[in-house]
Amino acid sequence: MRLDNGHHLANGAAAATTTIIIIIIIIIIIIIIIIIIMTMALQAAHSSTRLCMISRIVTNQLQHQHQQRRSYRWYLGLGVLLLAAAFSWTVRVLQFDWEKEAPPSVHGNTNVIVISSGGAGMVDTEHSVVRSSPSRSSSKASSSSSPPPPLTTATKRQIVYSHARRDRSGAALQDMMQAHATAWRTNHTSYGGACISPEYPAPFALQLEQLLDATGLSRIFRFACPDDKKDGTTTTMIWEYSVYVRRDTAVWTSDWRKHVRSFLKPHLVGKEDNNKGDETAVHVRRGDVHLCNTDTSFRYLPNSHYLQLLREYYHPTMTAAAAAAIIIYSETQSVESWEEFVAACRAEDYPCNLQLDTNVVKVWQGLVTADTIVLSKSSLSLTAAALAAPSATVIYTPFWHEPLPHWTVTSRELAQQTLRDVKHLQQLHCNN
């Protein structure tokens, strides 16, 4: 009984104390309200006196006070909005803390998400995404729980296409390579091919198809357009040129080049004859690149340019079976004499073999398999050098496409000398 009475007395004292505190707070609030009312009344009386004495001044003051009230309303509205934003942010922070402390999932230790490539039972291993997150449950609980069900997302795989190029085979192939490489580094995306249309014809399509078929690259580079077939698992679209050319040749990473080289036919990857001497393939762009044509003369590299490169970078090696060879690929149409070029080549004891008007397939194959590749300002030799063996030496003369990191760039002094030689040749062979 004593214990019960003490308990009730304590509760009564606490209730009395609380009541007193509440009464005091109410009294303080009433006093504050009375003070505010009296202050406002005095201000109103003072204002009325001034209105009686100076009506015009008071009128101006009232207008000013009205403007101030409007400003106060704006400030009040802004303050309410800020308070609401602060309240919302506080709620989100508290919610985030609650979510962090939420109990873990009852399924195993790892969540695996596999992106399907579109077909039933097929998985695009190239673009699949696997993410894992450690579970917070103990190892004992994990071993006793049943394995998690497989999770498959509804993410659609995207097939992208590019517009066909009107240019020659080299430029058309380079365009396919850049679009494919861009798609290759984009999740859930694959390259479908270059689309030929009335707006984007491909006059050299047959020639390029022959090159792709002969090299084995037709399995990844082709001419194709999106079809209207809807299967619900893939989406198709045509990329504009600006989408995939932003990074230029930088998109041709070493991993991507290795991937593409795996599609080349065996005789283009390894030498057929191990006793074959080192080959130097030189691509001299002529034909539509004319010395006297102002639209193409900036791409013209004179014969003297290539002879100087041979002096700097040709280092013959001898084997038991054969000596090194220099194969020059070009076209008959040229302002400079090919006989003089071969004579100058042999005068320096270079084993030059001139191949003019050779089929583009053989030219590209000869370039991609060479030990040393001397490029012209051309996409044909550029694409072949990009897919050549990593051990190949590539001599690059600067032009609008950037070199790969492991290529050898010609000197600035040679570029200046080449420019002087071109101007001299134009004075000799061009009317203007």
| Tokens 């054969």 found at | 322
On whether both 328 and 394 belong to a single domain, the answer is yes
- Contact between residue 377 and residue 285 where contact means Cβ atoms under 8 Å apart: yes
**CA 148, CA 268: separation in Å to the nearest integer?**
47
In 3D space, the residue among 328, 360, 323, 359 whose CA is nearest the CA of residue 342 turns out to be 328
Domain annotation covers residue 73: no
> 164 and 147 in one domain?
no
Domain shared by 359 and 374, yes or no: yes
Question: Could you give the strand order of the β-sheet that contains 393-396, starting from the edge strand earlier in sequence?
Answer: 352-356, 325-330, 279-283, 372-374, 393-396, 408-409
Residue 67 phi, psi (nearest 5): -65, -35
The answer to whether residue 311 sits within a structural domain is yes
Q: Would you state the pLDDT for residue 116? A: 31
Whether residue 378 lies inside any domain: the answer is yes
Stated as kind and residue range, the H or E segment containing 280 is strand 279-283
Per-residue model confidence (pLDDT) at position 105:
32
On whether both 325 and 253 belong to a single domain, the answer is no
* CATH classification at residue 400: 3.40.50
Among 378, 275, 369, CA closest to 321: 275
- Contact between 136 and 104 (Cβ < 8 Å): yes
Angle in degrees, CA 163, 167, 169, rounded to 5: 95
The one-character DSSP state at 102 is S
Please check whether residues 296 and 369 belong to one and the same domain.
Answer: yes
Is 89 part of a structural domain of the chain? no
Would you say residue 98 lies in a domain? no
Give dist(CA 302, CA 419) in Å, integer.
9
**What residue has token string 């063996």?**
389
pLDDT at residue 364 in the model:
97
Please tell me whether residues 290 and 413 are part of one structural domain.
yes
Q: Could you give the angle at the alpha carbon of 247 between the alpha carbons of 178 and 407, nearest 5°? A: 80
pLDDT at 26: 80
CB 223 within 8 Å of CB 194: yes
Query: What SS3 state is found at 8?
Result: helix
Tell me, yes or no, whether 344 and 400 share the same domain: yes
In a domain, 63, yes or no: no
Choose the final residue of a domain: 119, 134, 155.
155
For residues 293 and 404, membership in a common domain is answered with: yes
Domain range for 141 is: 108-155
In this structure, are 198 and 346 located in the same domain? no
Residue 91 inside a domain? The answer is: no
* One domain for residues 412 and 357: yes
Overall number of domains in the chain: 3
Query: Shortest CA distance to 401 belongs to which of 175, 91, 196, 208?
Result: 175
Q: What are the beta bridge partners of residue 193?
A: 161
- The pTM of this model reads 0.63
Question: Does the residue 141 lie in any domain?
Answer: yes
DSSP letter at 107 equals: S
Helices (H), 185-250: 205-215, 241-244
For residue 141, give every residue at least 6 positions away whose Cβ sits within 8 Å of its Cβ, in sequence order, or none.
none
pLDDT of residue 238: 95
Quick one: tokens of 38? 């009296």
Boundary (domain end) residue, out of 261, 287, 314: 261
160 and 123 together in one domain? no
With beta carbons less than 8 A apart as the criterion, state whether 174 and 249 touch: no
pLDDT digit string (tens) for the chain, length 432 residues: 333 444 443 444 455 566 677 778 888 888 887 787 777 766 665 555 554 554 555 455 556 555 655 555 665 666 566 666 655 554 454 443 433 333 333 333 333 222 333 333 333 333 333 333 333 333 333 333 343 333 334 467 899 999 999 989 999 999 999 999 999 998 889 999 999 999 999 999 999 999 999 999 999 999 999 986 666 788 899 999 999 999 999 999 999 999 999 999 999 986 544 445 589 999 999 988 988 888 888 999 999 999 999 999 887 764 444 557 899 999 999 999 999 999 998 898 888 999 999 999 999 999 999 999 999 999 999 999 999 999 999 999 999 999 999 999 999 999 999 999 999 999 998 876
Task: Please count the other Cβ atoms lying within 10 Å of the Cβ belonging to residue 409.
Answer: 13
Q: Indicate if 255 and 294 belong to the same structural domain.
A: no
Q: Tell me the helices (H) and strands (E) count for the chain, helix number first.
A: 13, 11
